[in-house]
Structure 1
């Protein structure tokens, strides 16, 4: 079931009145958010804006104090991350989450087996099943530019390549909505360009919601941007619109021009 609004648009993820209170602090304050299908949607804001908390709420790693979250038209507010991951909403993390001692190929095969068979102990011992998934694993690694690193240990990959491997293991779960937590954090310019191109390719057949600090990347990649300030939505629109919004300009006075925290 899809979520079509009165404007006729098809939204894969929506939040209404999303609020998170820690003690007396409203880290996220009555946020409404709609992520259109087959777009790249960026969530940005200055220091302390509530981006990370909002992202953790949307990806179900935090429970909201109030408000609702719908994925594909279904209320998922109370569902755990593993359940919605099986339904196609999958998050990758700022810190690369791969098995360092395993090869690149083994990491992706294991992720594929988890998708097919679920989190059982067979996940660890079915070598025959792992080899049966090898063609799909190789195809995924080709998609993210790691075809030349199949048998390299994950621990030995350069940082940017590790992030590409993490995206490959995330794609192995067959997400329709991919949630990226600062996918370019800590990267050099070459890796930023390569990973930006990868995100563009991934988004050709999927929806992407990302928190990202690099303004030039946000400007280049994003179809839609939501700007948070003090836990609330300050502005929404494409880059041209939000970058000229007086409230956004005021919120970023004194902030670096090339990054957001």
Structure 2
């Protein structure tokens, strides 16, 4: 018997005016793994990700979360089930310090409204937890820095902290390493590995190289379909991946 997948798609399809951006995709993400959805530009990974996180309605097929059909649920409903997309709540408030951003995310986790007036005492109750989350993502020295002034890689770390504040069981990360220099990529990959220790991570990524050591399982998409799935050794050896993905990478 296979263990129940934390998230699974069955024959998932999305058409835009007759064009199938995602065509008949079936994917299983096992609990406790880091799973990457990769592909060149136009492969369908962003559409697939938007379907999984309920920002798009599928044309056909179904999505199951821990065995429950969530195909027709809304983004906030799946977030409450424990499935959180990184930028869903991390539209970080740029004019607030890093610490206040995490406190607000913790406040939201409790279902409280964003109450900027008279909520100082309540927010202070979140101080300790917020500081420990900043420490977890290596931002404890940046707690009082305005989000707008954080370097790019640190901003992404703050997004991770605000996502972690919702205590997700499944974290969905949309190209978390995009636009980063080598040092930031290394630091963020290590960070993802650490936060994945007791949860499941599904990430969309463009670069096969950066997921090589990070991910337990990789699904390669091409032209809206699953090309191959497996660990890095398996997918990187597949001639179709070399041709369609690695061969085409320099065109993107």
Q: Would you call these one fold, judging by a TM-score over 0.5?
A: yes
Q: Does 1:60 align with 2:45?
A: no
Gaps of 5+ in 1: 1-5
**TM-score scaled to structure 1, two decimals?**
0.92
Q: Does 1:192 align with 2:185?
A: yes
Partner of 1:204: 197
Query: How many residues are paired up?
Result: 251
Partner of 1:89: 83
Question: 1:10 Cα shift?
Answer: 3.5
**Hey, what's the Cα distance between the residues in 1 that align with 2:168 and 2:62?**
21
Match of 2:92 among 79, 93, 98: 98
Which stretch shows the higher mean deviation, 190-199 or 214-223?
Answer: 214-223
Partner of 1:12: 6
Secondary structure at 1:180's aligned position in 2?
strand
**Hey, what's the Cα distance between the residues in 2 that align with 1:82 and 1:122?**
19
Secondary structure at 1:111's aligned position in 2?
helix
Taking a change above 3 Å as real, the CA distance of residues 253 and 89 of structure 1, as seen in their structure-2 partners, is closer
Q: What is the RMSD of the two structures over their aligned residues, measured on CA atoms?
A: 1.7
Question: 1:162 Cα shift?
Answer: 0.3
Match of 2:234 among 231, 238, 241: 241
CA contact (8 A) 2:156 2:176 kept: yes
Secondary structure at 2:197's aligned position in 1?
coil
**Hey, what's the Cα distance between the residues in 1 that align with 2:116 and 2:74?**
21
CA contact (8 A) 2:104 2:114 kept: no
**Hey, what's the Cα distance between the residues in 1 that align with 2:29 and 2:135?**
28
Q: Deviations over 1:191-218 (max 9, x none)?
A: 1111011000011011000011222211
**Hey, what's the Cα distance between the residues in 2 that align with 1:20 and 1:229?**
14
CA contact (8 A) 1:15 1:67 kept: yes
CA contact (8 A) 2:9 2:62 kept: yes
CA contact (8 A) 1:178 1:208 kept: yes
Partner of 2:164: 171
Partner of 1:3: none
Match of 1:162 among 155, 166, 178: 155
Secondary structure at 2:212's aligned position in 1?
helix
**Hey, what's the Cα distance between the residues in 1 that align with 2:120 and 2:63?**
39
Gaps of 5+ in 2: none
Secondary structure at 1:93's aligned position in 2?
helix
Q: Does 1:74 align with 2:73?
A: no
**TM-score scaled to structure 2, two decimals?**
0.95
Q: Does 1:115 align with 2:130?
A: no
Question: 1:125 Cα shift?
Answer: 4.3
CA contact (8 A) 1:114 1:123 kept: no
Displacement over 6 Å in runs of 4+: none
